[in-house]
A and B are shown apart, each in its own frame.
Chain A
Amino acid sequence: MATSTVFGAARLSPEQMLAPSPMALLRRRVFGHRSLMFGIIVLGLMVAMAVGAWFVAPHDPYAQSLASRRIPPIWHAWFWDNPKAGWEHILGTDKVGRDYLSRLIYGARISLVIGIATMLISGIIGTTLGVMAGYFGGRVDMVVTFLITTRLSMPVVMVALAVVALYGSSLEVVILVLGFLLWDRFAVVMRSVTMQARSLDYVTAAQAIGCSTPHILLREILPNILNSLVVVATVEMANAILLEAALSFLGLGVQPPLPSWGLMLSEAKEDMFFSPWMITLPGICLFLLVLSINLLGDGVRDVTAPENRN
């Protein structure tokens, strides 16, 4: 068949030249993946809402009003002729009269900030440990495996609760605590994929021609394990968001009056009997955000996995 020349491209057949480029193929896989598209669109909307919260939110999320407490959402006016419900507060108000929709919109900020910041901290810790263990093996691997085992045997929710309670609960403390607790999955996955990548021929070749270790790790290994890194990052981001909500719900996470969704659920708990929508709405927001992040991760894994191509 065709021998390779400097002008190898000239030997391609017309069909080969008209074949879609790898980038076009990737685009096709992304747009054809329904759950990935759902994830991208929902997450995109949430991020847009969080970034432009001051513009999108109809009211000040902190403004209390004694005159308009516990107003039900607009559909109570449609189905049950509730005279209090109206367009002024589409999703109603909470027990001190703060606009629920505005608080939900600002709440997206807190969840996203916690998710991203925690993911970055735990990602850096876990990836460093995992890549080192996988690449160097031996003693380093033993130490890292021990650290992972130790971390896994500590109950995350309890330790996070205790540390946040003892060191004072604030957004920063919650982020730091979760960041230092949730690195285990990064380390486990990065360790095993680095082990696989280390034995590949081009890594051996790079070692043979005398590339430095940082060069090999950053230029040869890292691009290879990036897919798995993205997938773990989405899982851990979702995990951090759920944990923050649980901590805030127990009263030991983000402090009032910040509109964290978990905190809103905690504040609405006593109104559960007569205003169940106060519980339903923040939960649906949490569910949608976490679902979209998970679908994004699953989708990225599907479209970048070589075995799914063609």
Chain B
Amino acid sequence: MLAYSLKRLLLAALVVLTVSGITFIMTNAAIDPAKAIAGANATIEDIEALRRSFGFDRPLVIQYLDWLGNALTGNFGESYRLRTPVAELLLDRLPVTMTLGGCALLFALSLSIPLGVVAALKPNSPVDRLALSLSVLGQALPTFWFALMMIILFGIVLRWLPISGSGSWAHFVMPSIALGYYATPAFMRLTRAGMIEVLASDYIRTARAKGLRPATVLFKHALRNAVIPVVSLAAVQFGFMLGGSVVIETIFALHGVGFLAWESISRSDIPVVQAIVLLISLFYIFLTLLADLLNAYLDPRIRVG
């Protein structure tokens, strides 16, 4: 287990290094950061002076190593636009995005696991077909359009829910549904497939044969095992949701990391963009690492092979 964990950790560190390198070089090569800071009215001398004082005249690799060293100590530099430390901005916005991601995941799981279980109990029944058709239709629905349609229906026509801002729990209902529904089909299919496999296994037959209540067999013996792969998929999907929050947060004007990313991208505020991309990647890498280690702990075949 230790050898496997170390190997996996090393890989994660290498991925972090590559992702941050690609992001840094791609964003810094695109535009002249000195010009972006100086603004439209600056003279060539101003820009040149800025370039030297910020160190933009050094080779990109040196700049990257410098940035990475600072980032490791939690210093992501200063926002060009707001003149505040990027780390502060992120800490300020992170709770909203985390709440949104958590609620979206909760919504997706609480919808898909029951559906998957019911579908697995009677494969090819009308319920199963309905669940599968819903997942096919859901997969074709553009997330942002779904969000707009919800705004029209629940926000404008019925006036049940607020359509922008992040003041109360009600502000999170529509964004969470919009962000979460996209993951539902994947969860549902995995739950269904897992349940069908587990329900056909010998120990379920034994449990039934010794006269346990059907509900006990279903929830205590079958679901527990069927849900293991769903847990690791949930980790991956949570990472994707944090990345996808940029679209949803922009639509609902939810002041989280995603909205900050969109604002910074449209204003070429590079330090913020770099920090956000790195942060989201870090979360994804951490979550998949956690899921892998959990799986290796639960299933000895992985860590030995």
Q: Please tell me which one of the listed residues A146, A150, A162, A265 contacts residue B273 in the complex, with CB atoms under 8 A apart.
A: A162
- Interface contact B246-A251, CB-CB below 8 Å: no
Number of B interface residues in the complex (CB < 8 A): 47
A238:B284 contact, CB within 8 angstroms: no
B134-142, B191-199, B212-220, B225-233 - the one binding chain A: B134-142
* Interface pair A246/B247, CB less than 8 Å apart: yes
CA distance A282 to B244 in the complex (A): 21
- What total count of A-B pairs have CB within 8 Å? 128
Bound CA–CA A287/B145 (angstroms)? 9
Any A CB within 8 A of the CB of B62: no
Residue of A nearest to B280 (CB): A155
* Residue B31 interfacial (CB < 8 Å): yes
Question: Do residues B148 and A166 form an inter-chain contact, with CB atoms below 8 A?
Answer: no
A291 and B140 contact, CB distance less than 8 A: yes
Is B144 a contact partner of A287 (Cβ separation < 8 A)?
Answer: no
Question: B26 at the A/B interface (Cβ < 8 Å)?
Answer: yes
A272–B148 touching, CB < 8 Å: yes
Closest Cβ of chain A: how far from B22's Cβ, in Å? Answer: 7
Residue A226 interfacial (CB < 8 Å): no
Chain A count of residues within 8 A CB distance of the other chain: 42
Tell which of A242, A272, A276 touches B142, judged by Cβ atoms closer than 8 Å. Answer: A242
- Shortest distance in angstroms between B292's beta carbon and chain A's nearest beta carbon? 11
Residues 212 to 251 of chain A near chain B (Cβ within 8 Å): 238, 242, 245-246, 249-251
Is B265 close to A, CB under 8 A? yes
A residues contacting B by CB (< 8 A) are: 35, 146, 149-150, 152-159, 161-163, 165-167, 238, 242, 245-246, 249-252, 265, 269, 272-273, 276, 279-280, 282-283, 286-287, 290-291, 294-295, 298
A-B contact pairs, 20 of them (CB 8 A): A150-B18, A150-B22, A152-B284, A153-B284, A153-B285, A154-B23, A155-B242, A157-B247, A158-B280, A162-B26, A166-B27, A238-B140, A249-B144, A265-B144, A272-B148, A273-B156, A282-B145, A283-B148, A287-B145, A291-B136
